[in-house]
Copies of this chain bind each other. A is one copy, B any other.
Amino acid sequence: MRKIIMLEQDTLPSPEFTQSDSRISALLDHLRQIADLQALGAIAEWDQNTAMPGGAAEVRGFQVAALQGVLHEQWTNPQLGNLLSELHEPIQRSSFTDADRGLVREAQRFQHRATKLPRKLVEELARVQATSFEAWRSAREHSDFARFAPMLNRTITLYREVADHLGFTETRYDALLNQYEPGMTSSKLDKLFAPVRETSRSLLQRIEASGTTIDASYLNGTFPLVQQLTVCEHLLRNMGYDFSRGQMAQSPHPFTTSFGSPFDVRLTVRTLENFLQASLMAAIHEGGHAVYEQGISPSLVRTLLASGASAGAHESQSRLWENAIGRSEPYWQSQFTVVKEAFPAQFAHIDLTSFVRALNKVRPSLIRVEADEVTYNLHIIVRYELEKALVNGNIAVETLPGLWNAKYREYLGIEPTNDAEGVLQDIHWSFGFGYFPTYTLGNLYSAQIFHKLHAVFPDFDQRLASGDTAFALQWLRDHMYIYGATYLPETLIEHITNETPDPQHFTRYLNSKFEKIYGLPATS
């Protein structure tokens, strides 16, 4: 493996800050203080989602708000502003490192946001988000979009103001998108997503026309939670998740968080007694996020760079591990025995190929979080197209349920019968806009990196089948994880794969995988 890595001709330096420059030292002092305080907020959030008693909700709200206030003061501290102005020009000189440049870039981005947004707007947003969340919950409970519409309207109005304060060149939506995916624009996204939409729709139609059905019924049943957690833990260990710098807990919505990467990176899974797939795939998915964070260079600890390069870059790793690796036959060749040992009765007569086919069963559904790889991006593209139009003022909130249903009919061939299983299913719009497309971006980056991994390791599948994931993790660490947020996501993807982001990797991956599974004639 080492030999192959040597042949790769790494051109990026390992991420180190300049020790000798007093401005960099002063900036680091300031930003480390901020990172340490932010970590305390993340600990409180972890606690809120995994342990906090219900009676503590109100008092916890005050605690989190107090920390936000302190952080706002830190970001708007004039000393920090002066330091960043002083460094703005010289930082491009070759005497500074890439990590120095990344640090200044990220600090400017956060400081820009903190100083440009009026405090009143931020406070109003927080209030509206809380009310909006309640309105969304009640609307979903009653399956009645009209209950949510006024708050959604208000949220859109406020985020249009946010976009105006932050600034943008093409569309307002881009300003919001940039919070999660620096450097991305909707015109770039439109180009990246078009082939994904077309390939997904046509592949889905071909699968449905083939008449082939997959039996996945044995993934439903009774699976005691203790055994599920044991399997999750095993899978996480196998993929290199380090429990001495992490922990697995349970929560209603699985998530990964960090309180100082790479030294404390935790994840949660959701266990459902009657549906095994929920916990196993959540473990691998969150494990992907987590090994990314655990692989960040310790030299970046306690800075803004000790995090993923973007939401899309992060999602590329959860998807790479969950889908490209975790739903492949080579992977389960070594791991299926763990599942069989945990649930001997359920899987006694199921062979490996059937199990993997079941994990990959394609079935257009109305619910995004239950979607397979073929239909998943169609769910995202529906949301992306609609939220972009909402923020840019091209459609009215009142028309949303009708447009949602029409797009589902057009893209997935099915249509919600009520708002709860339609436009109201996701929590996201009660908080903001611009996050959804990073899911599909993650899938595109994932396929491109997966393609590269196969090129670097021609025996990738054989190694995986033997139970070895360490070689892949090591390569990903060396070429991606170690840099944290040193580089903008597109630069990073280019470094890893030696090409610009290209959706053809994903469409080829999708066609090739599902043509094989469903016995379809190859497209190319």
Q: Are A260 and B60 in contact (CB under 8 A)?
A: yes
Task: Determine which of B51, B259, B260 lies in contact with A247 in the assembled complex, contact meaning CB atoms within 8 Å.
Answer: B51
Chain B nearest CB: distance from A60 CB in Å?
7
Query: Are A63 and B40 in contact, CB atoms less than 8 angstroms apart?
Result: yes
Q: Mark A42-62, 1 if CB is under 8 A from B, else 0.
A: 011011000111111011101
Is A327 positioned at the interface, with any CB of B under 8 Å from its CB?
no
Interface residues on A, range: 35 or more
Question: What chain B residues lie within 8 Å of A33 (beta carbons)?
Answer: 66, 69
Among the listed B46, B54, B58, B302, which residue makes an inter-chain contact with A244, where contact means beta carbons less than 8 Å apart? B54
Q: Are B264 and A66 in contact (CB under 8 A)?
A: no
Of chain B, the residue at the smallest CB distance from A51 is B247
> A41 on the interface (CB 8 Å rule)?
yes
Produce 1/0 per residue, A22-36, CB < 8 A to B. Answer: 000000000011001
B60/A246 in contact, CB under 8 A? no
Q: Is A386 an interface residue (CB 8 A)?
A: no
Contact among B54, B247, B259 for A59, CB-based, below 8 A: B259
The answer, yes or no, to whether A180 is at the interface (CB within 8 Å) is: no
With A and B bound together, what is the CA distance between A62 and B65 in angstroms? Answer: 21
- Residues of B within 8 Å of A242, CB to CB, are 55
A187 to chain B, nearest CB (A): 40
Judged by a CB distance under 8 angstroms, whether A158 is at the interface is: no
From residue A392, how far is it (CB to closest CB) to chain B in Å? 35
Residues of B within 8 A of A47 (CB): 43, 46-47
Expressed in whole angstroms, the Cα–Cα distance for A481 and B171 within the complex equals 55
Q: Which of chain A's residues 501-520 have a Cβ closer than 8 Å to chain B? A: none
The smallest beta-carbon distance between A141 and chain B, in angstroms, is 15
Q: How close is A73's CB to chain B, nearest CB, in angstroms?
A: 9
Q: Which residues of B contact A66 (CB under 8 A)?
A: 32-33, 36-37, 40
Q: A263 at the A/B interface (Cβ < 8 Å)? A: yes
Contacts of A54 in B (CB 8 A): 244
The answer for the CA separation of A36 and B32 in the assembled complex, in Å, is 22
User: Which of chain B's residues have a CB closer than 8 A to the CB of A36?
Assistant: 62-63, 65-67
Task: For the complex formed, measure the closest distance between the CB of A343 and the CB atoms of chain B, giving whole angstroms.
Answer: 21
Pick the most buried of A46, A47, A59, A63: most chain B CB atoms within 10 A of its CB: A59
Task: Report the bound CA distance from A46 to B58 in whole Å.
Answer: 19
A301 at the interface (CB under 8 A from B): yes
Contacts of A245 in B (CB 8 A): 53, 55-56
Q: How many angstroms from the CA of A46 to the CA of B51 in the assembled complex?
A: 11
Q: Indicate whether A39 reaches chain B with its CB closer than 8 angstroms.
A: yes
A168 contacts the other chain (Cβ, under 8 Å)? no
Pair A60/B264 contact, Cβ less than 8 Å: yes
Contacts of A194 in B (CB 8 A): none
Contact of A62 among B32, B51, B59, B67 (CB under 8 A): B32
Most buried by B among A43, A69, A249, A263: A43
Quick check: is A243 within 8 A (CB to CB) of the other chain? Answer: yes
Q: What residues on B are CB-neighbors of A69 within 8 Å?
A: 33
A360–chain B nearest beta-carbon distance, Å: 34
Taking CB atoms and an 8 Å cut-off, the chain A residues in 250-288 that contact chain B are 259-260, 263-264
Residue among A51, A60, A66 having the largest count of chain B Cβ atoms under 10 Å: A66
Query: Across the two chains, which residue of chain B brings its CB closest to A39?
Result: B63
Give CA–CA (A377, B71) in the complex, Å: 46
Please give me the 8 A-B residue pairs with the lowest Cβ-Cβ distance, nearest first.
A36-B66, A56-B264, A59-B260, A55-B245, A36-B63, A55-B244, A59-B263, A39-B63
A-B contact pairs, 10 of them (CB 8 A): A36-B65, A47-B47, A53-B246, A55-B245, A56-B259, A56-B260, A59-B260, A59-B263, A60-B259, A62-B302
Residues of A whose CB lies within 8 Å of any CB of B are 32-33, 36-37, 39-41, 43-44, 46-47, 51-56, 58-60, 62-63, 65-67, 69-70, 242-247, 249, 259-260, 263-264, 301-302
In addition to A36-B65, A55-B244, A60-B264, 9 A-B residue pairs with Cβ atoms within 8 Å of each other are A36-B66, A40-B40, A40-B63, A43-B43, A46-B47, A51-B247, A53-B243, A56-B263, A62-B260
